[in-house]
Structure 1
Amino acid sequence: MTEEKFDAILFSMAQQMPGGVPDLLDVLFGFLARKTDFYSGAGVDEARSLLLKYFEKHGKEAIEKAAENKRRKEEEERKLAAKRAAQKAREEEEFRAQTSGAGKIEEISDAEAAEFEKKHISLACVYSGEQHVVSASEDAETKKNEVEKSTEDEDEEDKNKLRPNSGNGADLENYQWTQTLQEVEVRIPFKVGFPLKSRDLEVTVEKTHLRVALKGHPPVIDGPLFKEIKTESSAWVLEDKKVVVISFEKMNGMEWWRYLVEGEPEINTKKVQPENSKLSDLDGETRSMVSRLLFHTSSCRINCFALF
């Protein structure tokens, strides 16, 4: 007999039980007492023995499976932690190699700096905490243009987009997602009348697709992701036996996502408010470019002060 084929029925019953599993057991034994000869047929002692037989059978299987799942999850978390530690060590080593010694600093021309500023000034602002120095009149004119452009954009292409939540993602009807430039976190609360276990859930995290469902029920999330992710960095946990928390790294760690999966409302990425990050958080190439720009900016300021 295939036991799984009754899972949907039993899940549906359990969801209607305010007390969860105890209420479900009460209903099942009540049914056996009212509608069968489970107790009276062969006697109460025989019924108890039969009950314990299957209790021990499935209890042993459940304990072994839980232990195996725990061992596998711990091993996956250990490998993931080791990989992240190794990656961080490599990035720190690259950063030290690029910034160690004044003789290794590469100066750039004014033309190169201007071109870089045009393309990457936003990165320098986000990751260095430096402020772009402009005259009062230039600053006022820039702000005026920004306000006009923001109003125009809001009226046209962004008027139907959501304002990002405090985590630069979105709070939707069935789940919440947040993001940094490098990572995404998804929180899916399940409103059921019993404590959830990992085996009650179906969570599939693929390079371009995410699916999350309670077994026997329609999925809460099931669709193509905004962009590709690093599946080897993905992980999920069951929080408080009712909330699924999924995290993973973006393949492109320098882009804000407009949505999590296709078909969901988009957020206005122009209103994203990134926190200041460390320069070491950048990839090697971008970090080197930002370092060169900051060095050039610092040199310009020193030269300007020297004129007075």
Structure 2
Amino acid sequence: MSGDDDMTEQFDNLFLSIAQHHPQGASQLLDTFVNFLGRKTDFFIGGEEGAWEKLVMSTFKKYEKISRDHHETELKGKREKEARLKAAAAKKAEQETIKSAEITELTDAEAEKLQAEIDANKSSQPAQPAPTTETIEDDEDESEKGKLKPNQGNGCDLDKYRWTQTLGDIENGDNWAID
């Protein structure tokens, strides 16, 4: 066989069909092929004695090397792909670990200790003035009475929320800032 890709592709279906008729595998297929060469050709007697053996061995060694190289290339590709997948999975797991919040159940004693630490940190920080909400009581416009009075930033100070705004914020409807 010349090794020409077109030739090999041409006979693949034929060889596959023949191989499927050999339930004992490659050794039975090889035995059938060598038997054919001995009966129907001058393969064994057409040249010098032992020439057929050199031809067979060089052909087998050639395709053994090609097959092993191909197999090694495939294995290397699979290993690299697995390594990339493992690295990506590890990176994803690391990111999920960083992002995920941990819920830890505390005993009553641990909870009291943690609360004491939080209270201590709050007391050590300078106290911020509590926001005051004032209502408009005396205004010429009756519709304004009872409404909340704006803070210095033309916004509002509530118990847990404070905001300010400028005239530009109101006109443009953007640049919202929460303090």
**1:93: how far off?**
2.1
Letter in 1 for 2:10: K
TM-score by length of 2: 0.51
The correspondence for 2:23, drawn from 18, 23, 32, is 18
Query: Pairwise CA RMSD of aligned residues?
Result: 1.9
Alpha-carbon displacement from aligned partner over 1:217-262 (angstroms, at most 9, x marks no partner): xxxxxxxxxxxxxxxxxxxxxxxxxxxxxxxxxxxxxxxxxxxxxx
The share of aligned pairs that are identical, in percent, is 30
Counterpart of 1:77 in structure 2 is: 82
Structure 2 residue 44 is matched with structure 1 residue 39: yes
Which residue matches 2:91? 86
1:60 equivalenced with 2:65 (yes/no): yes
CA distance in 2, matches of 1:35, 1:28: 10
Q: Separation in 1 of the partners of 2:87 and 2:71?
A: 24
Shift of 1:83: 0.8
Distance in structure 2 (CA, Å) of the matches to 1:44 and 1:75 = 48
Structure 1 residue 71: Cα displacement: 1.0
Please give the residue correspondences for 1:102-181 in structure 2 after superposition, counting only pairs within 5 Å: none
Alignment length (residue pairs): 100
Q: Which runs of 5+ in 2 are unaligned?
A: 106-179
Matches of 2:97 and 2:16 in 1, distance apart?
50
- TM-superposed CA distance for 1:36, in Å, is 0.4
- 1:85 positional shift: 1.5
- Normalising by structure 1, report the TM-score: 0.31
Query: Deviating runs (4+, > 3 A) in structure 1?
Result: 99-102
Residue aligning to 1:5: 10
Distance 1:29 1:19 in 2: 16
Greater helix proportion: 2
Higher relative contact order (CA 8 A, sep 6+): 1
Residues 142-186 of structure 1 show CA distances to partners (whole Å, capped at 9, x for unaligned) of: xxxxxxxxxxxxxxxxxxxxxxxxxxxxxxxxxxxxxxxxxxxxx
Q: CA deviation at 1:43?
A: 3.8
User: Deviation of residue 30 (structure 1)?
Assistant: 0.8
Unaligned runs of 5+ in 1: 103-308
Query: Which of 42, 48, 63 pairs up with 2:53?
Result: 48
Matched AA of 2:78: K
One-letter identity of the residue aligned with 2:84: K
Larger Rg: 2
What is the CA distance between 1:100 and its match in structure 2? 5.1
